[in-house]
Structure 1
């Protein structure tokens, strides 16, 4: 089945079209970027809280490293003065060695704990992201295309892994700078005063970077995700592309976001470059200034030679705050990445579990849809639809393409919830039934069943993994699938990757999966569309016992399929235009037009409905 995701990616071309020189054009993207960063900060705080024990250990190790670094110049100054005076040299050297050893051990342990903490955060984010993507259901596919989800799952979810170390590195740099300035003040107040002159300009430069770089960072990641989405669309539609000879056009379509990607990258690099050269000038200027003042104080006898060396060392430590720029760049990337993950996690799921679920009583499967309205975007697909399905009846849902047949049947098992109205199963609203119980009561078979599981047996037993081989074989026979399954290399134990199947065979496995589920309502959503007429008749006859023991809805495209149902629900303009047997509706030209069939076609002749009492 070819992908139809091109529409979503084409729509994305209208985003971020503003130029960097226009404040108006960037107002929207910047606002979106700010909101995304706010969501990223919330998610990062949750991640830190979940790993608070590791963060506590990491904080202790960082504090030890900073303390050792700040103590090193003092120990070095004492060792130099001890060498000059030849007094207490051994003790001074031992103290210096001990401090250096503590710094080395703390630094190594900090790297190990930080890496472990980061891997835990990545695992948590990916686990949460996968769970929420599954919860979003079909509406989530429209909002977050496959390529975009993969980008968030890999790159975005992996980005925050370095956040714990980066956060503590930023704190360590600030603590080191503050400690170094205090140490300079203890050596001589004028040294600290000179260094303090460079702090306000540094803060301003970093603030400007955060404001200007966040939006290009976010735009760069969005463009990457858009390219991935387009590439996946093309891969899914590879046969159509090859058959149409449109490979060159597809390459251009896939790479269409590249100019915006390049623009975002250039903008980011330009901002980084502007900040980098300012800091690269500020840091050595401060160092030269402080060391020069220290030399003057040494000449006047106000400080010793060891203190001069210590002052130079503390100045180097203090200007190490310039490395905060690189840390801020990495933290900003973490924030943007976490924001992209949070955007999915904060999206409302397709359905929400009831806060106080009710037990579904035993019943025959009576269905009632009342004033059901479903909107997709700005389009109203179902408009105050009413439908009653008698218990045990087989109802064919027919309608022109795009009238919402699949949407209608999706509301019954809560694959999506209507914006208005209610759906009841045996007198109980489906919205108050616990989702696991509802899934056991309503089962689906789709046009293109998903290949879930390791083997053919696993695929059929996907909803009932505890099913025995005998039960699986019985379900396969019901769907007329046992014959071709046994012809596979390892029969029911054949790995799905080694089981080439036609569309019709795949549909029969989907029907077998539905037959295995002991549900009171069976929904076949185009589940026989890929079967030829003879096979469909064979499968229908095999399913007759299954269908007559429960309520069933069949999305039908063929007149013969509708003719075999007890009733036909004719869907038109978002409502049920008629609910009657196929034979009663067939004389209506509008009804016949739904199937685009010649009235004289043999397939259009109504066939008898299955006997409700069974064969």
Structure 2
């Protein structure tokens, strides 16, 4: 199972630059406030150096210098507080934009992409990766900005004191540069592997929990446990790899912090003894160098978090990447119009795994308004054909058009209103009965909702609950059959021109299903309907029947004609009708 794409480092940097330019006024304001705060902080060491010089010279009145130091410390505190507020507000604004973009990107993903990637990867990106990015935006980026401005201005203050005194502060730079270069070359890939291991772990857990009854019935507990142990071991190894990077990097930079202060004291002291600098300059330089340690430490600490946040952003941005078009669709024009409502399937083959086609050179014409039943044994490719018609997957070869337009050329929002797929898997959303029915048409009046529920034989139980009754998580529990009726009511209300029904009434008992299908047929008259079914009364009522075996259409025609032909369909009909009788 392949995961969703991951954006390149270049794409992440480009997007971060766009975000900064979009909020350039806020960014400039935050940078200016931090610069003023850092500049105010430079006055304290300079004044303190003068105070030491004056005391050494025998000056007793230090009230003025003391008051100035207090003033600049207070000013620095005030400016820093305002700057942090502005930075925090900017961070929350950018984070909100990133979250909104991500939600939009996730909702725009083709269903086929989600199915291929698996829920574990998507869930991990929407939870853990969003949280990691939030931490980077809220804390790492503002603190990095503050530290960077402080370091630049402090180094500027050292140069103004005397270029010679600025040199000792730089003795730790080669060590920091070498350690950071070593770390950054390895960190991004290591954190991407770590995040991917969490996706696989989440996927395995979700599969085991969702399929708990199957696991128990088939005695798969040992196998699933072994899979979980393997996933945990992989995640553990990935975490150890990133931890190993930190245990080498962080102690190295801690050692590098000690060198500048030591060098400034020694070299500054020697220069003072030679009369080349004043005691005030040596004192201020030592204090500036000491003052550099905190922002450098903060910068390097958050550098690690920025790597984690960058890896998370690469995974979030990766969701936005358009999938590579399949063969046969590369030149498909983009359009918002559909001339008619018929399907044309030409030479379609499809595989979920390379080299293992489940459909083989399928060709089929479905005129507008026809009701086509697709039947055949399990594994014949019926559901795959339905998903291709609905645009969930793209064919490996061949083409599928609706009204002469490739299905892949329809924008996703238009496709979902034109062609609707209903399967036996239904989700009841948390909300009222009405909320669940009007998902495809939110402005529908209650009368239309009632008509849709009546069309699917659901009005009796729905009216007893009430349209405003809460269902889904925390609400009234609906049976699988009721959930299926709710999904069909959504379909009736949405009123698409083409419907793909994949065992859409399988959870109802046969007599109820037959009554419901006849009711639906009356409501959906004139629309194109492709019904995939095991119950052959669905085929009996259809205009034509396509019989599939081993990924191919082996028979095509009306019920009576196929029965008279005595082929594969006739054999299925006799077997089913005899059992049903």
Verify same fold: TM over 0.5.
Answer: yes
Q: Equivalent residue of 1:414, what SS?
A: coil
Matched with 1:442 is 419
Tell me which residue corresponds to 1:470. 447
Q: Are residues 447 and 593 of structure 1, via their aligned partners in 2, closer, same or farther at CA, if it must alter by over 3 Å?
A: farther
* 1:72 and 2:44 are equivalent in the alignment: yes
* Distance across 1 between alignment mates of 2:288 and 2:280: 12
| 8 A contact 2:441–2:494 mirrored in 1 | yes
Q: Which residue of the partner structure matches residue 22 of structure 1?
A: none
Asked if 1:360 corresponds to 2:342, the answer is: no
Say yes or no: does 1:57 pair with 2:29: yes
Is the partner of 1:136 in helix, strand or coil? coil
In 2, the alpha carbon distance for the partners of 1:215 and 1:385 equals: 43
Change (3 A) 1:383 1:67: farther
Residue 558 (1) aligns with residue 535 (2): yes
Aligned counterpart, 1:231: 205
> Of residues 181, 196, 200 in structure 2, which corresponds to 1:207?
181
Shift of 1:297: 2.7
Does the alignment pair 1:329 with 2:329?
Answer: no
Q: Which residue of 1 aligns with 2:562?
A: 585
- Higher mean alpha-carbon deviation, 94-103 vs 337-346, is at 94-103
Counterparts of 2:371 and 2:571 in 1: how far apart (Å)?
22
Tell me the distance in 2 between the aligned counterparts of 1:532 and 1:349.
43
CA distance in 2, matches of 1:576, 1:201: 70
CA distance in 2, matches of 1:429, 1:221: 37
Match of 2:321 in 1: 346
Whole-angstrom distance in 1 between the partners of 2:154 and 2:441: 66
1:419–1:243: structure 2 CA closer, same or farther, 3 Å change rule?
Answer: closer
Equivalent residues of 1:395, 1:552 under 8 A apart:
yes
Which residue number in structure 2 is paired with residue 45 of structure 1?
17
1:492/1:524 CA distance change after superposition, 3 Å? farther
Task: Please name the residue that 1:267 is paired with.
Answer: 241
Match among 106, 117, 124 for residue 151 of structure 1: 124
Q: 101, 107, 130: which one pairs with 1:128?
A: 101
Quote how far apart the aligned CAs of 1:385 are.
Answer: 2.5
What is the distance in 1 between the residues matched to 2:22 and 2:570?
A: 61
Shift of 1:279: 2.4
Deviations 1:467-514 (A, max 9, x none): 2222222221211111222333x3563433433222222222222222
How many residues are treated as equivalent by the alignment? 571
1:507 match: 484
CA distance in 2, matches of 1:442, 1:455: 26
2:380/2:552 contact within 8 Å kept: no
Instruction: State which drifts further: 319-328 or 459-468.
Output: 319-328
Q: TM-score, normalised by structure 2?
A: 0.87
Residue equivalent to 2:268: 294
**Alpha carbons 2:92, 2:137 under 8 Å: kept:** no
Give the TM-score normalised by structure 1: 0.83
Unaligned runs of at least 5 residues, structure 2: none
* Partner secondary structure for residue 370 of structure 1: strand
8 Å contact 1:441–1:520 — kept in the other structure?
A: yes
- 1:567 deviates by 0.8
Unaligned runs of 5+ residues in structure 1 are 1-7, 13-31, 606-615
Aligned mates of 1:543, 1:405 — CA distance in 2: 21
Cα gap change, 1:170/1:237 in structure 2, threshold over 3 Å: closer, same or farther?
same
SS in 2 for 1:487: helix
Aligned to 1:450, what secondary structure does the other structure show?
A: coil
- Say if 1:474 and 1:176 are closer, same or farther in 2 by CA, change over 3 A: closer
Note the C-alpha offset of 1:568: 0.4
- Within 5 Å, give how 1:413-562 maps onto structure 2: 413-431=390-408, 436-452=413-429, 454-488=431-465, 490=466, 493-497=469-473, 498-562=475-539
Tell me which of 140, 152, 156 is aligned to 1:166.
Answer: 140
Other structure's SS at 1:598 match: helix
Q: Deviations over 1:314-334 (max 9, x none)?
A: 221344435432122122111
RMSD: 3.3
Alignment of 1:102 onto 2:75: yes
Deviates more, 1:408-417 or 1:538-547: 408-417
Range 335-344 or range 233-242, more displaced:
233-242
- Note closer, same or farther for the CA distance 1:46–1:237 as it changes in structure 2 (3 Å cut): farther
